[in-house]
Amino acid sequence: MSNVLVFAELRGAEPKKVSFEMLSAAKQIAAATGGQVIAAAIGDGLSGLGAKLGAYGATKVFVANGVAKYSTEGFAHILAGLIKQENPAVVLLGATAQGKDLAPRLAAKLGVGLASDIVGFRMDGNKFVAKRPVFAGKAFTEVTFLAAPAIATVRPNVLPIGETNGAAAAEAVLAADLGGPKAQIIEIVAGVSKRLDLTEADRIVSGGRGIKDKTNFKILEELADVIGASVGASRAAVDAGYADVSMQVGQTGKTVNPTLYVACGISGAIQHLAGMRTSKVIVAINKDPEAPIFQVADYGIIGDLFEAVPLMTAEAKKLLA
């Protein structure tokens, strides 16, 4: 049998949404290969993960408890040991900040290939073939693997979450042995924003150079609060000091894939489009009718964002009321 291993990334002690997306995909892969879905979680104060992850398809969950801080070397050491023990055919991690940091080291440690930031997959018989974007999202390529396990990082908000089955997975203890990492994490400083991280957000309102001043982001935040969105920014807005770099969407920022992306005062440079063009619905607001953002937008408003956004906020309040 060819099992599939999902690394369930956590926020605190709770699995992130992308973990459930990967488990749903793993069920399809395991069904084609005649294997099972196993999951692994590393953290501190963990309990009840067998029920949480089992409901989405995991049949067994390995838990390394008592690891308070993330460590690239330490997490890779733990996962590499589990992979050698369980010998899965496919290993999935989220294409998050942590996953993008961890997956390359894990692949190098095992001497196998890695397909990063995949947006889909297909089964060629019992072989896993990953689909990933290239050329800033203008084209896609399929990646096949010459050796097992096939390791891939999955872009959040791309793969659908399947229905829950209500079954709990068996839990097994995974030794929390970090293997003596050469670097020690002293402190992790959490961001001040309480909004969902852009890479996981289902709705995003972003501002560009047209926002003109840092204080004007309040207009976008008001709309975001009403529709339950996170707030992003273009590189131009970040470079101008209007927004923090953690808010940057684009090729040198974060790649996002929300259901709704509202671009306010963003011209649509190639660098920005590379990070958000796969959004399911794109709304663009810009005074320039020739702005490139309108070429990828599903809906466009040619006008002043300082007039359009407050109107959208007011209408959203009415609809949601």
Whether the predicted pLDDT of 166 surpasses 90 = no
* pLDDT value of position 89: 95
Domains of the chain: 4-173 (3.40.50.620), 203-320 (3.40.50.1220)
* pLDDT value of position 164: 85
CA atoms of 88 and 150, how far apart (whole Å): 9
- pLDDT by residue (tens digit) across 176-215? 888 888 888 888 777 666 788 898 899 999 999 999 999 9
Strand bridging mode 37-43 / 60-65:
parallel
Q: What is the mean pLDDT of residues 231-255?
A: 94
- Report yes or no: 31 and 108 within 8 Å, Cβ to Cβ: no
- pLDDT by residue (tens digit) across 114-130? 999 999 999 998 899 99
SS3 content of the chain, % helix, strand, coil (to 5): 30, 25, 40
Give the pLDDT band of residue 239 (cuts 50, 70, 90): very high
Structure tokens at 154: 């999955």
Q: In the predicted model, what is the mean pLDDT of the chain?
A: 93
* pLDDT value of position 80: 97
CA atoms of 304 and 287, how far apart (whole Å): 6
Strands (E), 164-228: 170-173, 203-207
Whether the predicted pLDDT of 20 surpasses 90 = yes
Distance in Å from the first CA to the final CA of the chain: 52
**Cα angle 187-189-194, degrees, rounded to a multiple of 5:** 150
Q: What is the mean pLDDT of residues 43-59?
A: 93
* pLDDT value of position 317: 96
| DSSP designation for 56 | T
Which neighbouring-strand residues pair with 282? 261
CA atoms of 21 and 35, how far apart (whole Å): 18
CA atoms of 220 and 230, how far apart (whole Å): 10
* pLDDT value of position 165: 84
* pLDDT value of position 191: 67
- Among left, alpha and beta (phi > 0; psi -120 to 50; other), residue 308 is alpha
**Cα angle 254-260-261, degrees, rounded to a multiple of 5:** 50
- pLDDT by residue (tens digit) across 213-227? 999 999 999 999 999
Whether the predicted pLDDT of 1 surpasses 60 = no
* pLDDT value of position 192: 65
* pLDDT value of position 126: 85
- pLDDT by residue (tens digit) across 84-104? 999 999 999 999 989 999 999
CA atoms of 301 and 79, how far apart (whole Å): 48
Give the pLDDT band of residue 138 (cuts 50, 70, 90): confident
Entry pTM: 0.86
CA atoms of 282 and 298, how far apart (whole Å): 5
Q: Which range (38-42, 131-135, 182-186, 238-242) has the least confidence?
A: 182-186
